[in-house]
């Protein structure tokens, strides 16, 4: 029997979409150039952050709303997976050095003006020590954004592969699909991210870098972001005494190894927040480039009659936006399966996903 949906690209978005589509009763086949572990996917080099308030100072209101929707969906979806995935919604602590107090004031002012629903508290040094004992006597003040979350990306990717296996989804790992190929399915959905650059001429790379540390005995209860006028650094504890330190918004298509300067900036920021990390062991230095469109928003496009849908442009917001985007695709999909000659039109919840400027027309 012909498959309903062929998903090309088994990264975070592709796996989530395949899983939720199969749960909805669709026959799904996944094609991915890499293996089921997912360690070549962009999502492998990530903090797994779901932080709509922290992103509100740079993102449009609709993206913040999409992030809030994802924040609702992650704790609903993760418990259904057959393999446990670490998830924490203890919130974000925003810290700054005394010399960068102006950056903190700028952030707070932008947050107030751009996100009327923002819920945050300014903490003094004592309150910060109570909220996060590991930071006692380190910073004079902080901003606390409650409810923000993070997902363990490296547990999630194989867990999604396990879920696809459990549902009987045919997964053709290590199978690259070229632009000239069209898998045999009622609808093909291209979720290849930056690998689809030959079709999405406007795609650019936004580099993310991280260092993974083994620091048993050093555990953060919250995500930490260090405000800085040039770059934003985050720190996230992972199970097993590990810590992820990363920077996510470097405008570059360069996916070569982390530079000495990049490594020094990451490690210096981590050491400035937690001097105990001077004795941590470096497990990994890694980087990847996130796929971004000119307006830094995700897009869904479909040319009537082609039976090809393309979803791309998650920028550095993969974990923040993927559940909301998947939900939207699954809202659109039933109509296109029955009426492939239809226009995509404006999507039901997030109109801008489908109603894009002419620059995003199919090539």
Q: Which residue ranges does the chain devote to CATH 3.50.50.60?
A: 3-47+153-202+295-360
Report which of 137, 150, 101 is spatially closest to residue 122, judged by C-alpha positions.
101
Write down the CATH number for the domain with range 92-146+204-292. Answer: 3.30.9.10
Q: pLDDT tens across 304-313, in order?
A: 999 999 999 9
Whether the predicted pLDDT of 352 surpasses 80: no
Contacts of 43 (CB under 8 A, 6+ apart): 11, 12, 153, 156, 157, 318, 319
Average pLDDT score over residue span 248-254 = 79
Q: How far apart are CA 254 and CA 287, in angstroms?
A: 9
Average pLDDT score over residue span 98-104 = 90
Q: Is the separation of the CB atoms in 134 and 218 below 8 Å?
A: yes
Structure confidence at residue 355 (pLDDT) = 53
Q: Homologous superfamily of 3-47+153-202+295-360 in CATH?
A: FAD/NAD(P)-binding domain (3.50.50.60)
Q: Which of 115-119, 163-167, 270-274 has the lowest mean pLDDT?
A: 115-119
Report which of 107, 115, 108 is spatially closest to residue 56, judged by C-alpha positions.
115
Structure confidence at residue 313 (pLDDT) = 96
Q: Which residues of 287-305 are buried (b: 16+ CB within 10 A; e: fewer)?
A: bbbbbbbebbbbbbbbeee
Structure confidence at residue 252 (pLDDT) = 82
Q: How far apart are CA 84 and CA 158, in angstroms?
A: 10
Query: Locate tokens 């009987």: which residue?
Result: 168
Q: pLDDT tens across 14-71, in order?
A: 999 999 999 999 999 999 999 999 999 999 999 999 999 999 998 889 999 999 999 9
Q: Is the separation of the CB atoms in 12 and 85 below 8 Å?
A: no
Structure confidence at residue 248 (pLDDT) = 66
Q: Please give the mean pLDDT across all residues of the chain.
A: 92
Structure confidence at residue 357 (pLDDT) = 46
Q: Is the separation of the CB atoms in 199 and 74 below 8 Å?
A: no
Q: How far apart are CA 322 and CA 337, in angstroms?
A: 22
Whether the predicted pLDDT of 230 surpasses 80: no
What is the Cα 241 distance to its own chain's centre? Answer: 23
| The three-state (H, E, C) secondary structure of the chain, written as one string | CCEEEEEECCCHHHHHHHHHHHHCCCCEEEECCCCCCCCCCHHHCCCCEECHHHHCCCCCHHHHHHHHHHHHHHHHHHHHCCCCCCEECCCEEEECCHHHHHHHHHHHHHHHHHCCCCCCEEEEHHHHHHHCHHHCCCCCEEEEECCCEEECHHHHHHHHHHHHHHCCCEEECCCCCCCCCCCCEEEEEECCHHHHCCCCCCCEEEEEEEEEEECCCCCCCCEEEECCCCCCEEEEEECCCEEEEEEEEECCCCCCCCCHHHHHHHHHHHHHHCHHHHHCEEEEEEEEEEEECCCCCCEEEECCCCCEEEEECCCCCHHHHHHHHHHHHHHHHHHHHHCCCCCCCCCCCCHHHCCCCHHHCCC
Average pLDDT score over residue span 240-264 = 89
Per cent of the chain over pLDDT 90 is 80
Question: Confidence class of residue 73 from pLDDT cuts 50, 70 and 90?
Answer: very high
Report which of 208, 248, 221 is spatially closest to residue 89, judged by C-alpha positions.
221
Question: Confidence class of residue 118 from pLDDT cuts 50, 70 and 90?
Answer: confident
Q: Is the separation of the CB atoms in 26 and 5 below 8 Å?
A: yes
Angle (deg, nearest 10), helices 318-338 and 61-77: 90
Query: Locate tokens 């083994």: which residue?
Result: 214
Q: Which residue ranges does the chain devote to CATH 3.30.9.10?
A: 92-146+204-292
pTM score: 0.94
**Which strands, in side-by-side order, build the sheet including 87-88?**
49-50, 149-151, 87-88
Per cent of the chain over pLDDT 70 is 95
Average pLDDT score over residue span 333-338 = 94
């Amino acid at each position: 029997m012909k498959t309903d949906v062929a998903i090309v690209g088994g990264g975070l978005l592709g796996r989530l979409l395949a899983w939720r589509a199969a749960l909805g009763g669709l026959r799904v086949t996944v094609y991915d150039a890499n293996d089921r572990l997912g360690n070549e996917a962009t999502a492998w080099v990530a903090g797994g952050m779901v932080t709509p308030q922290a992103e509100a100072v740079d993102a449009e209101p609709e993206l913040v709303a999409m992030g809030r929707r994802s924040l609702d969906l992650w704790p609903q979806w993760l418990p259904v997976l057959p393999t446990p995935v670490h998830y924490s919604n203890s919130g974000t602590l925003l810290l700054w050095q005394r010399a960068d107090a102006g950056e903190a004031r700028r952030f707070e002012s932008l947050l107030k003006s751009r996100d009327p629903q923002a819920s945050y508290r300014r903490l003094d040094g004592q309150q910060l020590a109570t909220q996060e004992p590991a930071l006692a006597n380190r910073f004079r003040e902080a901003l606390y954004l409650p409810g923000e979350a993070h997902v363990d990306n490296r547990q999630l990717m194989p867990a999604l592969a396990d879920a696809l296996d459990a549902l009987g989804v045919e997964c053709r790992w290590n199978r690259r699909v070229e632009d000239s190929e069209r898998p045999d399915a009622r609808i093909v959905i291209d979720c290849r991210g930056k690998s689809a650059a030959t079709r999405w001429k406007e795609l650019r790379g936004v580099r993310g870098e991280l260092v993974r540390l083994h620091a048993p005995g050093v555990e953060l209860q919250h995500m930490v972001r260090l405000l800085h006028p040039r770059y934003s650094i985050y720190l996230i504890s992972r199970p097993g005494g590990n810590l992820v330190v990363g920077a996510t918004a470097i405008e570059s298509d360069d996916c070569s190894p982390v530079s000495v300067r990049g490594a020094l900036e990451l490690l210096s920021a981590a050491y400035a927040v937690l001097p105990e990390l001077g004795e941590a062991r470096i497990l990994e230095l890694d980087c990847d480039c996130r796929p971004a469109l000119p307006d830094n928003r995700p897009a869904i496009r479909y040319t009537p009659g082609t039976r090809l849908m393309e979803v791309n442009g998650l920028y550095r917001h993969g974990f923040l936006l993927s559940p909301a985007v998947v939900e939207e695709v699954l809202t659109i999909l039933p109509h296109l399966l029955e009426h492939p000659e239809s226009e995509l039109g404006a999507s039901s919840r997030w109109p801008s996903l489908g109603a894009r400027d002419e620059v995003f027309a199919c090539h």
